[in-house]
Structure 1
């Protein structure tokens, strides 16, 4: 019986070699590896020259692992062999001249760059599955998400009440509404800002991924303005600056809190996302400027009332006015503006880079 060579098609990945032997109804298939890189194939089947015994030998460019996976179908024999070292081969065989019976398998063919992209996609999928499995192992994940959802919902409702109340009063009373803002909204603002202390605690407990330091700067800064400047000085409570501070704070938060609230349930609204990551760019610096105006207006009042002044020995004077502390605080306020603005801008860049990757 005449011994013939079948048609063999090949393709590769970084870690594997694929061979497709065009031999239908193959039987007595014998595949072995000689040494570290020579494949021997022998089988009975129907090929290009009819029903005969077919065989071939391939000496690979580099060593391969001894384990061979093969599957015979009515149309062909599929062979998969793992490379010993996972890297791209410039050709299949040790000899530069390709055997006549060997051809590329264009159904599975990828060039090196495409194979790298496929490998990267597999790794990302594995990493995603690994992360999801770790998340599912957390028995308290539902409780944590429920807590964060309710926290953001309560803050959203509180700041929405402040924003709507101030807006309605502005339309009805005009500029007159500037001067009684504190007396009409302070209680709700006190509540919201005391609740905001949890935004400093949540990163420490690992409940959110946001940084501890930026959250502490914002919460501490606002509470100084609310509780020390406005809360302790009756003279400040009737000033127009209170309106601008409260209005700018609430304008930011009515978009920030619902964004995080919906993120807890895996929902993303494009318009809300854009507002959350864009409105702060003008509003946050304006809010800091309004806070700075409030501090500057309070300086002569603290000098006059001597509130929070530090007593000094008689040789040095009567007391050290709290206004000096606030002047230092003004400097720290604008330093905090720079730190937080940089942090928020990086958040925005990361957000839109990840959205572009998902689109592509």
Structure 2
């Protein structure tokens, strides 16, 4: 069967094969006429045809599998909730970071001593919101592990609400500045990354910052938290705040500082656990990106 169409520039001829087989050449004679040329947009050799067939089969299989999987009717609502949550946290930590940076440039070291009184309200809000990061994995809204989220959120809340929030003697110390600044620096890159992930967008620079900045900042943040905790120990010993009553034979009470010393050890164990978890995430992320490139 032959179909042809003539134009001012050329004559297009479509020839349908009687038998499904590969042709060695277009004409009976070995040398192709100069005026005759194949349409390379439609040209296939055997390897191309195999790849095309394999792609079609994969598409069919994918459609078949997807048709059997029940689609989540609330997926849009879940993504909307996660996007708004990450946006709110990004705005909150950005406010803290920008204000602390401006105050540092204007006031210099004097800004170290009133960080808590100027930033505490917003930090309280952000850290109370962070409790949702423990709840979200339990509800299956995110793939992040429950344990790493629990370690980070509970660790920060102990420092913020117990060490800084209750002890007035700690609120004017420079360590508050370093803890708040390190926390906010990490989060102003983490939350936008999750926001873009909610809408299926990947910004290469932001991805690199999210998976690289934590390497120096996360251990520095834990060290700053540890310094704050150590500085609070003599205050708890002196005030006997949160001390546990004991039988008269054993003594009057057990200082809360002993519990904090135990927590200090747990905190560095948590650093090791979370550091290993984040390292695996980083390797897995860049391994998958390399596969996509290849």
Match of 1:333 in 2: 267
TM-fit CA distance, 1:107: 2.5
Query: Could you give the per-residue CA deviations for residues 52-75 of structure 1, whole angstroms, max 9, x where no partner exists?
Result: xxxxxxxxxxxxxxxxxxxxx842
1:107 aligned to which of 45, 48, 51: 45
Structure-2 change in CA distance of 1:154 and 1:76 (3 Å): same
Please state whether the residue corresponding to 2:285 is helix, strand or coil: helix
TM-fit CA distance, 1:343: 0.7
2:207 aligned to which of 269, 273, 282: 273
TM-score by length of 1: 0.67
Structure-2 change in CA distance of 1:313 and 1:188 (3 Å): same
Highest CA radius of gyration, 1 or 2?
1
Match of 1:304 in 2: 238
TM-fit CA distance, 1:324: 0.5
Structure-2 change in CA distance of 1:181 and 1:125 (3 Å): farther
Match of 1:14 in 2: none
TM-score by length of 2: 0.82
1:208 aligned to which of 131, 139, 142: 142
Q: d(CA) in 2 for partners of 1:77 and 1:150?
A: 60
Range moving further from structure 2, 144-153 or 348-357:
348-357
Please state whether the residue corresponding to 2:20 is helix, strand or coil: strand
Larger RCO (CA under 8 A, 6+ residues apart): 2
Match of 2:94 in 1: 160
TM-fit CA distance, 1:245: 0.3
TM-fit CA distance, 1:148: 0.2
Q: Does 1:172 align with 2:106?
A: yes
Query: Could you give the per-residue CA deviations for residues 149-177 of structure 1, whole angstroms, max 9, x where no partner exists?
Result: 00000000000000001001100110010
Range moving further from structure 2, 125-134 or 224-233:
125-134
Tell me if structure 2 keeps the 8 A contact 1:162–1:185: yes
1:227 aligned to which of 161, 182, 185: 161
Query: Could you give the per-residue CA deviations for residues 299-354 of structure 1, whole angstroms, max 9, x where no partner exists?
Result: 00000011110011112111000000000101100100011011111111111111
Match of 2:18 in 1: 76
Q: d(CA) in 1 for partners of 2:151 and 2:266?
A: 10
Query: Could you give the per-residue CA deviations for residues 205-233 of structure 1, whole angstroms, max 9, x where no partner exists?
Result: 01001111100000000000000110110
Query: Could you give the per-residue CA deviations for residues 37-86 of structure 1, whole angstroms, max 9, x where no partner exists?
Result: xxxxxxxxxxxxxxxxxxxxxxxxxxxxxxxxxxxx8423238xxxxxxx
TM-fit CA distance, 1:126: 6.2
Structure 2 portions without partners, runs of 5+:
3-14, 22-43
Q: d(CA) in 2 for partners of 1:125 and 1:241?
A: 57
**Residues 139-154 of structure 1: matches in 2 within 5 Å?**
139-154=73-88
Please state whether the residue corresponding to 1:78 is helix, strand or coil: coil
The structure whose residues are more often helix, as a share, is 2
Structure-2 change in CA distance of 1:128 and 1:329 (3 Å): farther
Tell me if structure 2 keeps the 8 A contact 1:182–1:238: yes
Q: Does 1:315 align with 2:244?
A: no
**Residues 39-50 of structure 1: matches in 2 within 5 Å?**
none
Structure 1 portions without partners, runs of 5+:
1-23, 26-72, 80-105
Q: d(CA) in 2 for partners of 1:250 and 1:156?
A: 9
| Number of equivalenced pairs | 260
Match of 2:170 in 1: 236
Q: d(CA) in 1 for partners of 2:149 and 2:210?
A: 16
1:355 aligned to which of 285, 289, 292: 289
Match of 1:193 in 2: 127
Alpha-carbon RMSD across the aligned residues, in angstroms, is 2.6
Q: d(CA) in 2 for partners of 1:256 and 1:131?
A: 34
